Amino acid sequence: MSITTEQMRWIDNVVGKPICYLLTFYARLTHLFPKKEKYLKTILFAKYLGMGSIVHATPLIRSVKNTYPEARLIFLTFYDNKELIASVGLIDEVLCIRTDNLLVFLLDVLGSLHHLRKEKIDCVLNLEFFSKFGAIMSFLSGARLTVGYYLKEPWRTHLISHKVYYNHYKHIAEIFMALGNAIEAGSKDLSLEKPIIPPEEKKYIYHLFEEHSINNHHWKVVVNINTSSLSLNRSWSLSNFSTLIEKMTNAYGAHIILIGGKRDIRRVEEIVASLRNNQKVVNLAGKTSITQLLALMEQVNLVITNDSGPLHLAVMMGTPTISFFGPESPLQYGPQGGNHTTLYKGYYCSPCLHVYNEKNSTCENNVCLQDISVDEVFDVLTNYFKGWAETSDGEK
C-alpha cells in the first residue's frame, strides 16, 4: 500500500526533526559550506509534492538554464511527477523516489543520495518550503551550496548555505524565483513554460474525440471534480458539479469531459450516474497519462476545476479556466494572466491551508466553497460560451 499524505507528514515531523538536529550539529562542527563560485556545473532542483507547484517552478528552471546554459540540471521528485517534469524539456535528468511502501521509499532515498553524491552536485535549489525531508535531502546530496527558504528554527538554520525569505504575500512563481536570485539566476519573466507534447498523445485525443463524435463545432469543456490528497476540502460539492453539468449540456449543448486519476474513478462514476442526461458526458477518469491530459487541455475550450493540479496544466496550455478557491489562497496559487476566472469568497477563516500548518487544515465545514453557487458559476461560463460562439462557427 502506498504511503499516504498523512503518513508522510508524520514521518516528516516525528522522524525528520531529530535527523535535522543531528545534521545541524555536524554542519556547525565542520563548517561545511564554502563561498559561492561564479559557475555551477551541476544544479539540482528538489520538489516532491504538488503538481501545481512544479508547474509554477518552470519559470525558475528556465531562468537558471538561461543563466547557466552549460550546466547539467537534475530534478529530484516523487515518481508521480516524472512525466510532467520530463514534458517541460528543460531538465537533463529526472530522479524519482517511489512511495509504493516504506521499504521502497527508503531504498529509493538511499539510491538517490548515492547517485547525487556521484554526480558531485554544485548547488541544490530546494523548492520545498519548510519540510524536514527536503532539508535533509538537500544537505545529504553533498551539494556545495544549498539554497532554501529560511525559517527561524534551530533544526534547519545551518542546513542552508543561502537562506531565502519566504514571502507569503507573493505568488508562488515569484517565491520560487527568489531561489534563483540567490545564485544570480533570477528573472522577471514568470510565464509558464509550455510542455512538449508527443504527436502520438495528440493523436490519442483526436481519436477519442472522433470516437465520441466531438468536433470543432462543439463547445468542449473539461470538468475536474477532484483534488489532490494534500487537502480534500478544496473540493466544490458533487451536487453542485452535477447541476452545473446538466445546465451546460441543456443550455449550450456542451460536451463535458470528466477527468481524474485512478483513485478518482469511483467518485467520477458517481457523478456520471447522478446525471439525468449524460449522453454528452465523457468519463476519462483513470484513462489518461499526464501528457495525454496536457494534449486534452490544449484541444478544449474551457476547464472548470477545483484548486488542483489540472488547473495549472490548463494554464500551461493557455486554455481558459474557471477555478474554485477557498481553503487555499488565489493570491499565491491562482492563474496569472487573462482569460482565467477565480471564484473566491475571501472569508475571514480563509485561507486555512498554508505552509505554516503544512497545508493540513482542521476545517470540517468549507463554507468558503459551499457558498459559491451554481448560478454564479453559470453566469461566468455564459460569457465564455458567448466569446467562443462569436469567434467560431460553433453549433449546439
Residue 296 has pLDDT above 60, yes or no: yes
pLDDT at 390: 80
Which of 101-115, 234-248, 352-366 has the lowest average pLDDT?
Answer: 352-366
Residue 51 has pLDDT above 80, yes or no: yes
Residue 395 has pLDDT above 50, yes or no: no
Q: Model pTM?
A: 0.90
Q: Are residues 318 and 381 in the same domain?
A: yes
Strand partners, 258: 223, 283
Q: Are residues 264 and 369 in the same domain?
A: yes
Q: How far apart, in whole angstroms, are the C-alpha atoms of residue 308 and residue 293?
A: 14
Residue 344 lies in a domain: yes
pLDDT at 146: 93
Model confidence over 166-199: pLDDT tens digits? 998 999 999 999 999 999 999 999 999 999 999 9
Q: If you search the block for the grid coordinates 530534478, which residue do you land on?
A: 75
Give the model's confidence band at 37: pLDDT under 50 very low, under 70 low, under 90 confident, else very high.
Answer: low
Residue 186 lies in a domain: no
Residue 361 lies in a domain: yes
Q: Are residues 94 and 160 in the same domain?
A: yes
Q: Please name the amino acid found at residue 214.
A: I
Q: Are residues 382 and 344 in the same domain?
A: yes
Mean pLDDT, rounded, for 22-32: 66
Q: What is the CATH number of the domain that holds 317?
A: 3.40.50.2000
Model confidence over 113-153: pLDDT tens digits? 999 999 999 999 999 988 889 989 999 999 989 999 987 76
Angstrom CA distances, 139 to 3, 124, 240, stand at 23, 9, 46
Q: Are residues 43 and 116 in the same domain?
A: yes
Contact between 351 and 345 under an 8 Å Cβ cutoff? The reply is no
pLDDT at 338: 81
What's the chain's average pLDDT? 89
Mean pLDDT, rounded, for 383-393: 83
- Domain around 119: 5-181
Give the model's confidence band at 6: pLDDT under 50 very low, under 70 low, under 90 confident, else very high.
Answer: confident
Helix (H) or strand (E) holding 298: helix 290-299
Q: Are residues 279 and 142 in the same domain?
A: no
Give the model's confidence band at 394: pLDDT under 50 very low, under 70 low, under 90 confident, else very high.
Answer: very low
Residue 84 has pLDDT above 70, yes or no: yes
- Nearest 5 degrees, angle CA 127-CA 131-CA 132? 120
Give the model's confidence band at 396: pLDDT under 50 very low, under 70 low, under 90 confident, else very high.
Answer: very low
Exposed, middle or buried by CB within 10 Å (0-12, 13-18, 19+), for 159? buried
Residue 320 lies in a domain: yes
Model confidence over 196-216: pLDDT tens digits? 999 999 999 999 999 988 888
Determine how many CB atoms are found less than 10 A away from the CB of residue 296.
28
At which of 114, 148, 181 does a domain end?
A: 181
Q: In terms of pLDDT, which residue wins out, 264 or 38?
A: 264
pLDDT at 258: 96
Give the pairing type, strands 255-258 and 281-283: parallel
Share of the chain above pLDDT 70, in %: 92
Which of 13-17, 158-162, 187-191 has the lowest average pLDDT?
Answer: 13-17
Give the model's confidence band at 13: pLDDT under 50 very low, under 70 low, under 90 confident, else very high.
Answer: confident
Model confidence over 237-247: pLDDT tens digits? 999 999 999 99
**Total domains in the fold of the chain:** 2
Query: Long-range contacts made by residues 264-267, C-beta under 8 angstroms, separation at least 24?
Result: 264/225, 264/226, 267/225, 267/226, 267/238
Report the C-alpha dihedral over residues 341, 343, 348, 350, rounded to 10 degrees: -90
Residue 393 has pLDDT above 50, yes or no: yes
Q: Are residues 226 and 368 in the same domain?
A: yes
pLDDT at 61: 98
Q: How far apart, in whole angstroms, are the C-alpha atoms of residue 346 and residue 22?
A: 42
3-class DSSP assignment, residue 284: coil
Radius of gyration of the chain (CA): 22
Residue 192 lies in a domain: no
